[in-house]
Structure 1
Amino acid sequence: MIKTKLLIAAALASLMATTGAFAQGKGEVDEAQSRAAPTKKATKSEKAAAKAARKAEGTKQAKVDVPGGTGPESAGVAKVATKEERKTAAANRKANATDAVKKGQTTSGEK
């Protein structure tokens, strides 16, 4: 009987200890109250100004972070093809794909 009571007491103590640990905060004090609810709502013009500022900063950062280069100058210039060149290229791709399908060289649909 005493062993059962001790076992239950130990289980309750461990249960209380874990719930107390989860209830604790991170231990930091937010002196600036940055997470506090705003005292007044922002107006539409303030929201628009903040959005424009974020957009400008994002655009500036996107131009700096071009993959494979150090800036927008390394992006290169896209080649402009005429409509006839695109039609010819599409016909060639279609013909090559048709030949590959007939020969059984494609893996589309096969897993």
Structure 2
Amino acid sequence: MKKVILSVGVALVQLMAVNAFAAGEVDAADSKAAASTPVTKAEKQAARAERKAAGADAAKAAKAAENGDAAGGADKAVPSAKATAAEKKAARAKRKAAGAEAAKTEKNGQ
């Protein structure tokens, strides 16, 4: 009989403890932040424009870093002058000769 009364008593204590902690903590008077003044529409627009500009800059920097480009874009290489037809023909002939030589050495098993 003592064991039954003891186990029922422990169960009741647990039920009361759960109800006591379920109510939550009691907040002190100074625990909440003080109410701030309402923000005007112009202030909201200015803050939004500032965040938008900062976000655009961050996106550009992230994209440039991802692509391996210069972050500012000002450091990009300036393209050289266009090659003339004669220069292109000479370069093509040089590549063709190098390719033929490589194929010859590969064919000989070297």
TM-score bracket for the superposition, by shorter chain length: 0.3 to 0.5
Query: Larger relative contact order (C-alpha < 8 A, sep ≥ 6)?
Result: 2
**When the two structures are superposed, what TM-score results if normalisation uses the length of structure 1?**
0.41
Name the larger-Rg structure: 2
**When the two structures are superposed, what TM-score results if normalisation uses the length of structure 2?**
0.41
